[in-house]
Structures are given as C-alpha cells and as structure tokens.
Amino acid sequence: MVGRKNRVFYGYIIAGIALFIMTLAWGSLFSIGVFFKPMLEELEFSRAATSIAQSVSILLTGLFGIFMGRLNDRFGPRLIVTVGGLFLGAGYLLMSLTEASWQLYLFRGVLVGIGVSGTYVPLLATIAKWFYHRRGLIMGVIISGIGLGTTIMSPIANWLITNYGWRESSGILGAALLILVVLAAQFLRRDPADVGLLPYGGREVEQEKTEVELSPQKALRTAQLWLLCLIFLLFDFSVDAVLVHIVPHATDLAISAASAANVLAIIGIVSIPGRIIMGNVGDRIGSKPTMIICFAFMLASFGWLLFAREEWAFYLFAVVFGFPYGGLAALMSLVVAELFGLADIGLILGVVTCGTTIGAAVGPALAGFIFDVTGSYQLAYTICTIFSGACLVLTLLLKPTANR
C-alpha cells in the first residue's frame, strides 16, 4: 500500500480536512430554512422573494464551480478554498445588516454562492487525485459533510436565533466560517506528488490512464455529459425545493418549529450513511446501477410526501428521502471520474455541477412562487415526484464514453 513509510497516509488528512470544510460550508448554506420565518416576520418579504436568495447562492455555486474547478486544476485547492472561505464568511457577516431584498440577494446570494463554489468542486477534484482505490468510499465520506453540516448547523442556527435573533446569529456564523475555513484550507495539497507520494493504490494509476481520459473539449461533445447534467439538474431541483421549504411547510401544518427543524436534521443525519454506503456500493457495482437504486427510493419518498400531514409522516419521509439524496450526491463525482477520467476532472465536474445548481436554483424559487399563488406546496411536490421518475428513466440511458 502506498504510504507505508508514513505512519498516516497524507491523503487521509486531506480527506479529513475536506470533510470539515464541507460540513461548515454546506451546513451553513442549507441552514437558510431555519432563518426563513424570522426574516420574513421582520423584513416582510414574500416566500418567493426570500427563496430567491438561496436560488442565487445555488446558481452561483454551479456557475463559479466551473471556474473554481479550472483554477483548482492549475493552482491547487489551498488558494481556491481560502478565497472561498473569505467570501463565505463575509456573506454571512454582511447578511446581518440586511434591510432590503437587494442586500439579501447580494450578501446571502452572491457572496455566499461564490464562497461555497470554492469548496465543492475543488475538494472533490482533489480527493479524486489522491485516491485510486476506495475513491467512491472516500468521496462518499467527504460528501457526507453536507448532511453532517445540515444536521449540526440547523439546530445550532435555530438555538442561536431563539436566543439572540437572526441578525446576531448570522454575524456569529459568518465570523466562525471565515476563521475556520481559511485556517483549514492551509493544510490542503493539490496532488500526492506535491509531498512526494503516489495516490492510494497508485501503482494502478497507469492502468487507469489507458482506459478513459477525455479532454474537456471531447467531453463537451459527448451526449453522456449533457445527459448527466440533465439528470442532476432535475435531481437538485427536487432536493433543494425540499431542503428550503420543508420547515415552513411542516409549520404550516401546525407542527412545531423545533420538530420541523428536526425533520431537516434527520434528512441530514440519514444522508450521511447514504453517502458513505452508496459511495462504497458504487465502487463495487458501478455508479449507474447504484444511481438507479437511489432514484427508485427518491421517487417513493416524494410520493409519500404528497400525502404526509402528521409529524411522524414527515419523520418517515426524512428517512426515506435522506438516504438516496445522500447517495446520489456522493455518486456524482464518481460517475464523472468513471466516464471522463481524471486529467481535467475539476473542469468537467464543474460543468456537471453547474447543471445541478441550475436546477437547485430554480427549485426553491418555483416552490416559493407556487405557494404564494396557490397557498400550498402540493403542486411543487408533484413536480418533484415527476422529476424523480424522469431521473430514473434517464439514468437507464447512460452509456460508457468511448476510449481515447
């Protein structure tokens, strides 16, 4: 095994740091559902208007993810993640000063979106280069930081808001993010060669290079890349509509705010084993059949949500939804590596991530608009159900790309 001369393979240290940063960055991103109603009550924004801030964040996470991935291929994750941490912390610090909707869009939307874009693609592209064996498993662990962050940050944010108000809570969160993410980024390294090592299982890397290794130009001309973008666009449309609106939806049905926050926390908790287990399953049976399994469970969960009215029904939904949601998030980077190789994985993963974030940006905003017009989330969740079924069918159409 590579790295036996060292007591700890440095790739595992990189993985631990990446998990820590993902937990902070993405947990804070999805804590918006807890801030939702306190902000609405003070600022008197509509739900659609408030949802736009999250949509802007998600959209810019994808758009800037392309550039962050390319810059990561060139300069490495230490610089890129440091810049991301600065933007992320500044966004939450300034959000505490919000008085008008345009300020919310700029601070919580633009700055936070750019900040988070400096974590996801750079970290996963880096991990792909550090691990040949166990790549799906390690990526699943890293991606579990999103669920872990949701689990930790939502209750913390709820406690802070209850005791100090949403403005003070935003400022505290911003200061913590800026300091912790920037410090953690200083220990990242782009490639094992930077510290005189091979990737984990590195003696097989040369074999991998004889398989699939497409340039970005060739990858962009394949139908599989755009099919993959569409699949994850529809997936993230549905997921983010739920993550942003499940708390206000539950409270609309007379479920307490604490219990509604627990629903979001359960989704995060269950997504953690989903990411790790399905990432490992993807290593063993391939990403495509694993994605099919996940989308089948996702479809079932949305069908259940259409009829959920009681607290226990929301908890059951959180379990059935959280596991495949976590698994699919872990599988995205794995399927990109399988189909297109590692040489320019930062850029290609950035393109796919951009597709996902278009869906993630539209989903919460459209769900908020539907509620403002109809007074219900029923139509929004029906659309999510249809999209989950479409993802299942489209995944069946994925085929291996041609060898170089």
> Would 5 be classed as within a structural domain?
no
Q: How many CB atoms lie within 10 A of CB 70?
A: 19
Residue 48 in contact with residue 365, Cβ under 8 Å?
A: yes
Closest CA to 123 of 93, 146, 89, 150: 146
> Would 188 be classed as within a structural domain?
yes
In degrees and rounded to multiples of 5, residue 19 shows phi and psi of -60, -45
Distance CA 384, CA 238 (A): 5
Closest CA to 347 of 98, 134, 74: 74
Q: What is the pLDDT along the chain (404 residues), one digit of tens a residue?
A: 444 444 678 889 999 999 999 999 988 887 877 887 788 888 877 777 777 887 788 778 878 888 888 888 788 899 999 999 999 999 999 998 988 888 888 998 899 999 999 998 889 888 888 887 777 788 888 877 877 887 788 788 888 888 898 899 889 999 999 999 999 999 998 878 777 777 776 655 554 444 456 666 676 677 788 888 899 999 989 998 988 888 888 888 888 888 888 888 888 788 888 888 988 888 888 888 999 999 999 999 999 999 988 889 999 999 999 999 988 988 887 888 777 776 667 778 888 888 887 887 788 889 888 988 998 899 999 999 999 999 999 999 888 765 44
> Would 132 be classed as within a structural domain?
yes
> Would 205 be classed as within a structural domain?
no
Residue 198 in contact with residue 192, Cβ under 8 Å?
A: yes
What is the count of structural domains for the chain? 1
Residue 103 in contact with residue 199, Cβ under 8 Å?
A: no
Closest CA to 123 of 60, 188, 208, 178: 188
- What CATH number corresponds to the domain at position 246? 1.20.1250.20
> Would 309 be classed as within a structural domain?
yes
State the residue range of the domain holding 317.
10-200+211-396
Phi-psi region of 129 (alpha: psi -120 to 50; beta: other; left: phi over 0): alpha
Place of tokens 């240290």: 13
Distance CA 12, CA 3 (A): 11
Q: At what angle do helices 32-43 and 257-285 cross, to 10 degrees?
A: 150
Predicted local confidence at residue 210, as pLDDT: 42
> Would 240 be classed as within a structural domain?
yes
> Would 36 be classed as within a structural domain?
yes
> Would 401 be classed as within a structural domain?
no
Predicted local confidence at residue 293, as pLDDT: 94
Q: For residue 112, which amino acid is it?
A: V
Residue 38 in contact with residue 251, Cβ under 8 Å?
A: no
Instruction: State the pTM of this model.
Output: 0.73
Structure token pair of residue 314? 């929301």
